[in-house]
A = this chain, B = another copy of it.
């Protein structure tokens, strides 16, 4: 059952999927497109909605990072059997994405003055609003989105890591439960070796055209 995950040579929306695949010991082809030469029209034309990431398995194609993350976690203990726990994980994950979408305009802003303004607003308003609540939620739920490690915790880790890279910050320094969870995931078997093998990510926003 050959598996292939295609995304940019960045962490971003696909890194939680890569982490889950490594942690659950699933072999996959890790295809990475150069983010600075995107959009590549020949690749883009092959994508169902023109977007990455895309996951392929047995010739079938799946889009949308959250659908992929949850799918590759199926049948493992990263997906709880209790419907309410599943719903809570999904609700926090969707809220994480709401937050992350508020980061995107600053990343895409070409004017450096406007970019700095947008970044300031994210750092001073959006991050405290969302992450004080996420931190409290983790404290109230045993350090995870729902009592024990789930696919949603990997998404939280990925959102923090991508925020750090795109905004040049250390997001979790003021949110100890978030920091503990991110460090826990980065030290999981499979994930730890993967992180060591790829080294740190970096981004030059001036060359970035997503």
Contact = CB atoms under 8 A, between A and B. Distances in A.
Interface of A: 48-49, 60, 62-64, 66-68, 70-71, 74-75, 83-84, 86-88, 90-91, 94-95, 98, 101, 130, 133
A113 B98 CA distance: 28
Contacts of A75: 83
Interface on chain A toward B: helix, strand, loop, or mixed SS?
Answer: helix
A88 B61 CA distance: 9
Contacts of A49: 95, 98, 130, 133
A72 to B, nearest CB: 9
16 contacts: A48-B133, A60-B84, A62-B84, A62-B87, A63-B91, A64-B90, A64-B91, A64-B95, A67-B87, A67-B88, A67-B90, A70-B90, A71-B83, A71-B84, A75-B83, A101-B101
A81 to B, nearest CB: 11
Nearest to A54: B91
A75 B88 CA distance: 17
